[in-house]
Amino acid sequence: MTRLRILHHPDPRLRTKATPVESFDVPLGVFAKNLLETMYAAPGIGLAATQVNVHKRVIVVDVSEEKNQPHTLINPTLKTYGNRIKGEEGCLSVPEIYDVVERFEHVDVTAQDIQGNTIEFTAQGMLAICIQHECDHLDGKLFVDYLSSLKRGRITKKLRALSNSRER
Protein backbone atom coordinates (compact mmCIF):
# COMPACT_ATOMS: atom_id res chain seq x y z
CA MET A 1 0.00 0.00 0.00
CA THR A 2 1.72 3.14 -1.19
CA ARG A 3 -0.01 6.47 -0.97
CA LEU A 4 1.50 9.06 -3.26
CA ARG A 5 1.71 12.76 -2.37
CA ILE A 6 -0.79 14.95 -4.20
CA LEU A 7 0.35 18.38 -5.43
CA HIS A 8 -1.84 21.39 -4.65
CA HIS A 9 -2.67 24.41 -6.79
CA PRO A 10 -0.85 26.78 -7.42
CA ASP A 11 2.09 24.37 -7.64
CA PRO A 12 3.56 25.02 -11.12
CA ARG A 13 4.24 21.29 -11.61
CA LEU A 14 0.47 20.84 -12.07
CA ARG A 15 0.88 22.81 -15.32
CA THR A 16 3.20 20.23 -16.92
CA LYS A 17 2.01 18.53 -20.10
CA ALA A 18 2.36 14.78 -19.63
CA THR A 19 4.11 12.67 -22.27
CA PRO A 20 2.83 9.36 -23.70
CA VAL A 21 3.61 6.06 -22.00
CA GLU A 22 5.82 3.92 -24.24
CA SER A 23 6.84 1.00 -22.01
CA PHE A 24 4.10 -1.22 -20.64
CA ASP A 25 6.43 -2.71 -18.05
CA VAL A 26 6.22 -3.85 -14.43
CA PRO A 27 6.98 -0.36 -12.99
CA LEU A 28 3.99 1.02 -14.93
CA GLY A 29 1.76 -1.60 -13.32
CA VAL A 30 3.10 -0.76 -9.86
CA PHE A 31 2.58 2.95 -10.48
CA ALA A 32 -1.02 2.45 -11.73
CA LYS A 33 -1.83 0.39 -8.63
CA ASN A 34 -0.39 3.08 -6.35
CA LEU A 35 -2.31 5.79 -8.21
CA LEU A 36 -5.55 3.86 -7.70
CA GLU A 37 -4.80 3.29 -4.00
CA THR A 38 -4.03 6.99 -3.56
CA MET A 39 -7.33 7.88 -5.26
CA TYR A 40 -9.38 5.55 -3.03
CA ALA A 41 -7.60 6.72 0.12
CA ALA A 42 -8.06 10.43 -0.65
CA PRO A 43 -10.99 9.69 -1.28
CA GLY A 44 -11.62 10.71 -4.88
CA ILE A 45 -13.40 9.44 -7.99
CA GLY A 46 -10.42 10.03 -10.26
CA LEU A 47 -6.72 10.86 -10.22
CA ALA A 48 -4.20 11.78 -12.90
CA ALA A 49 -0.46 11.01 -12.78
CA THR A 50 0.25 14.76 -13.07
CA GLN A 51 -1.28 15.26 -9.62
CA VAL A 52 1.37 13.03 -8.03
CA ASN A 53 4.18 14.68 -10.01
CA VAL A 54 4.54 11.91 -12.61
CA HIS A 55 4.26 13.48 -16.03
CA LYS A 56 3.13 10.44 -18.01
CA ARG A 57 -0.32 9.99 -19.61
CA VAL A 58 -1.97 7.77 -16.98
CA ILE A 59 -5.33 8.32 -15.28
CA VAL A 60 -7.49 6.25 -12.94
CA VAL A 61 -11.22 6.67 -12.33
CA ASP A 62 -13.92 4.92 -10.34
CA VAL A 63 -17.30 6.65 -10.12
CA SER A 64 -19.14 3.59 -8.77
CA GLU A 65 -20.99 3.72 -5.44
CA GLU A 66 -19.29 0.53 -4.26
CA LYS A 67 -15.81 1.66 -5.36
CA ASN A 68 -15.40 -1.58 -7.26
CA GLN A 69 -15.24 -0.38 -10.88
CA PRO A 70 -11.73 0.97 -11.37
CA HIS A 71 -10.60 2.07 -14.82
CA THR A 72 -6.90 2.55 -15.51
CA LEU A 73 -6.45 4.45 -18.77
CA ILE A 74 -3.06 4.88 -20.42
CA ASN A 75 -2.59 7.46 -23.22
CA PRO A 76 -6.31 8.35 -23.26
CA THR A 77 -7.75 10.39 -26.11
CA LEU A 78 -11.26 11.76 -26.10
CA LYS A 79 -13.90 12.65 -28.60
CA THR A 80 -16.46 14.81 -26.81
CA TYR A 81 -19.95 15.48 -28.11
CA GLY A 82 -23.55 16.18 -27.23
CA ASN A 83 -24.95 18.75 -24.87
CA ARG A 84 -22.91 20.75 -22.43
CA ILE A 85 -23.94 19.92 -18.88
CA LYS A 86 -23.21 21.89 -15.73
CA GLY A 87 -21.99 20.07 -12.66
CA GLU A 88 -20.28 20.96 -9.42
CA GLU A 89 -16.64 19.87 -9.44
CA GLY A 90 -13.93 19.53 -6.88
CA CYS A 91 -10.32 18.47 -7.26
CA LEU A 92 -7.86 16.79 -4.93
CA SER A 93 -5.29 19.36 -6.13
CA VAL A 94 -7.63 22.27 -5.28
CA PRO A 95 -8.70 21.25 -1.77
CA GLU A 96 -11.97 22.44 -0.27
CA ILE A 97 -13.03 24.39 -3.38
CA TYR A 98 -16.15 23.42 -5.32
CA ASP A 99 -17.67 25.21 -8.28
CA VAL A 100 -19.80 24.61 -11.35
CA VAL A 101 -18.11 23.68 -14.62
CA GLU A 102 -19.60 22.90 -18.05
CA ARG A 103 -18.54 19.63 -19.67
CA PHE A 104 -19.74 17.59 -22.62
CA GLU A 105 -22.38 15.00 -21.81
CA HIS A 106 -20.76 12.23 -23.88
CA VAL A 107 -17.22 11.08 -24.61
CA ASP A 108 -15.81 8.37 -26.81
CA VAL A 109 -12.65 7.18 -25.10
CA THR A 110 -9.73 5.49 -26.81
CA ALA A 111 -6.92 4.44 -24.51
CA GLN A 112 -4.59 1.57 -23.70
CA ASP A 113 -4.80 -0.79 -20.76
CA ILE A 114 -1.90 -1.66 -18.50
CA GLN A 115 -0.67 -4.28 -20.99
CA GLY A 116 -0.80 -1.87 -23.92
CA ASN A 117 -3.95 -3.29 -25.52
CA THR A 118 -6.23 -0.71 -27.12
CA ILE A 119 -9.52 -0.13 -25.35
CA GLU A 120 -12.47 1.88 -26.62
CA PHE A 121 -15.69 2.74 -24.87
CA THR A 122 -18.33 5.45 -24.60
CA ALA A 123 -19.05 7.24 -21.34
CA GLN A 124 -21.76 9.59 -20.14
CA GLY A 125 -22.85 11.17 -16.88
CA MET A 126 -20.39 11.31 -14.00
CA LEU A 127 -17.89 8.98 -15.70
CA ALA A 128 -17.77 11.27 -18.75
CA ILE A 129 -17.28 14.34 -16.54
CA CYS A 130 -14.57 12.68 -14.50
CA ILE A 131 -12.65 11.45 -17.56
CA GLN A 132 -12.71 14.97 -19.05
CA HIS A 133 -11.45 16.38 -15.73
CA GLU A 134 -8.60 13.82 -15.56
CA CYS A 135 -7.54 14.29 -19.18
CA ASP A 136 -7.33 18.03 -18.55
CA HIS A 137 -4.79 17.31 -15.77
CA LEU A 138 -2.57 15.50 -18.30
CA ASP A 139 -2.48 18.73 -20.31
CA GLY A 140 -1.73 20.87 -17.26
CA LYS A 141 -5.27 22.17 -16.95
CA LEU A 142 -7.34 22.53 -13.76
CA PHE A 143 -11.10 23.01 -13.33
CA VAL A 144 -10.47 26.48 -11.89
CA ASP A 145 -9.24 27.51 -15.37
CA TYR A 146 -12.90 27.43 -16.49
CA LEU A 147 -13.93 29.92 -13.78
CA SER A 148 -13.67 33.70 -14.02
CA SER A 149 -10.24 35.17 -13.37
CA LEU A 150 -11.71 36.92 -10.34
CA LYS A 151 -12.80 33.61 -8.80
CA ARG A 152 -9.58 31.88 -9.77
CA GLY A 153 -7.53 34.67 -8.23
CA ARG A 154 -9.41 34.32 -4.95
CA ILE A 155 -8.95 30.56 -4.95
CA THR A 156 -5.22 30.83 -5.65
CA LYS A 157 -4.80 33.33 -2.84
CA LYS A 158 -6.73 31.16 -0.38
CA LEU A 159 -4.77 28.00 -1.22
CA ARG A 160 -1.46 29.84 -1.06
CA ALA A 161 -2.33 31.02 2.45
CA LEU A 162 -3.40 27.49 3.40
CA SER A 163 -0.16 25.92 2.22
CA ASN A 164 1.89 28.60 3.95
CA SER A 165 0.06 27.99 7.23
CA ARG A 166 0.76 24.25 6.91
CA GLU A 167 4.46 24.76 6.20
CA ARG A 168 5.16 26.96 9.20
Task: Give 5 or 168: the residue with its C-beta nearer to Ni ion.
Answer: 5
User: Using alpha carbons only, how large is the chain's radius of gyration in Å?
Assistant: 16
Should residue 159 be labelled a site residue for Ni ion when binding is judged by CB under 5 A?
no
Tell me which residues in 87-116 interact with ligand GNR (CB under 6 A): 89-93
Q: For residues 58-86, b (16+ Cβ closer than 10 Å) or e, as one string?
A: bbbbbbeeeeeeebbbbbbebeeeeeeee
Size of the site for ligand GNR (CB under 6 A): 16
Among 107, 129, 131, 144, binds ligand GNR (CB under 6 A): 129
Size of the site for Ni ion (CB under 5 A): 1
Residues of the shown chain interacting with ligand GNR in the complex, contacts defined by CB under 6 A: 44-48, 51, 89-93, 129-130, 133-134, 137
Question: Which residues are catalytic, by number?
Answer: 134
Residues of the shown chain interacting with Ni ion in the complex, contacts defined by CB under 5 A: 91
